Structure 1
Amino acid sequence: MPSSWTVLISLHAIAASYSLIFGAVNLLSRPKGGRVHRIVGRIWVVSMYVVVLTSFGVRTIDGGFNWLHALSVLTFCTLTAGLLAIRKGNIKAHRSFMTGSYLGLLGAFVGVLSVPSRRIPQLAIHELPTLGLLILVLLGTAALTITGIAQIRKTSFIRSGR
Structure 2
Amino acid sequence: MTYLQLTYFHLATVFPAFLIGTYLLLNPKGTKRHKLLGKIYMALMLLTAIVTLFMSSVVGPALFNHFGYIHFFSLLVFYSVPSAYFSARNGNIAKHKSSMLGLYIGGILIAGSFTFMPGRLLHSWFFG
Q: TM-score range by the shorter chain?
A: 0.7 to 0.9
After TM superposition, the score normalised by the length of structure 1 is 0.69
Q: Which runs of 5+ in 2 are unaligned?
A: none
Q: Which amino acid aligns with 1:20?
A: F
What's the offset of the Cα at 1:124? 1.5
Which residue does 2:10 correspond to in 1?
12
Instruction: Provide TM-score, normalisation by structure 2.
Output: 0.86
Which residue pairs with 1:148 in the alignment?
none
Q: Structure 1: which 4+ aligned runs deviate by more than 3 Å?
A: none
Q: Which structure 1 segments of 5+ residues have no match?
A: 127-162
- Give the alignment's Cα RMSD to 1 decimal: 1.6
Give aligned-pair identity as a percent: 25
User: Partner of 1:109 in structure 2?
Assistant: 112
Paired residue type of 2:112: F
**SS state of the match for residue 27, structure 1?**
helix
Task: Work out the number of aligned pairs and report it.
Answer: 121
Provide the residue aligned with 1:97 in structure 2.
Answer: 99
Which residue number corresponds to residue 121 of structure 1?
Answer: 123
Identify the residue that residue 38 of structure 2 maps to in structure 1: 41
Bigger radius of gyration among the two: 1
Query: Matches of 2:76 and 2:24 in 1, distance apart?
Result: 21
CA distance in structure 1 between the partners assigned to 2:76 and 2:39 by the alignment: 19
Higher normalized contact order (CA 8 Å, seq sep 6+, divided by chain length): 1
